[in-house]
Amino acid sequence: EDQVTQSPEALRLQEGESSSLNCSYTVSGLRGLFWYRQDPGKGPEFLFTLYSAGEEKEKERLKATLTKKESFLHITAPKPEDSATYLCAVSERGSSNTGKLIFGQGTTLQVKP
């Protein structure tokens, strides 16, 4: 069964303490892997798309990387405003999978000042 697993479930960091979030996936053919940020009571906010192993994307303090089995979201010198739930999702190849993202359970990040 297709699956997306994120770890850890929760992460507490001090401001400036860098860390990484993990997303492992098992799908028969990856079309794309997506990272979102979700604040309480809001819809997910799009961050990155990764399509092939070895690809990297950066945005401010965030950097996403992709291998054949997993993706990492690296957070460098985080600030309190980076506190949120980070969601990983995959899209699988095949005409029967259009428009469907399979989400992990998310990692809730808290950054303390």
Q: Residues in the site for other proteins, rule: CB under 8 A?
A: 31-32, 34, 36, 41-46, 49, 51, 87, 89, 91, 96-106
We find the least distance from the C-beta atom of residue 60 to other proteins, in angstroms, to be: 19
Q: Partners of 58 in the beta sheet?
A: 63
We find the least distance from the C-beta atom of residue 44 to other proteins, in angstroms, to be: 5
Phi-psi region of 57 (alpha: psi -120 to 50; beta: other; left: phi over 0): beta
In DSSP notation, 9-56 reads SEEEEETT--EEEEEEEE-SSEEEEEEEEE-TTS--EEEEEE-STT-E
Strands 70-75 and 62-66 turn out to be antiparallel
We find the least distance from the C-beta atom of residue 102 to other proteins, in angstroms, to be: 7
Of the pair 11, 76, the CB lying nearest other proteins is at: 11
Of the pair 14, 98, the CB lying nearest other proteins is at: 98
Of the pair 43, 113, the CB lying nearest other proteins is at: 43
- Reported as type and span, the H/E element at residue 88 is strand 84-92
We find the least distance from the C-beta atom of residue 69 to other proteins, in angstroms, to be: 20
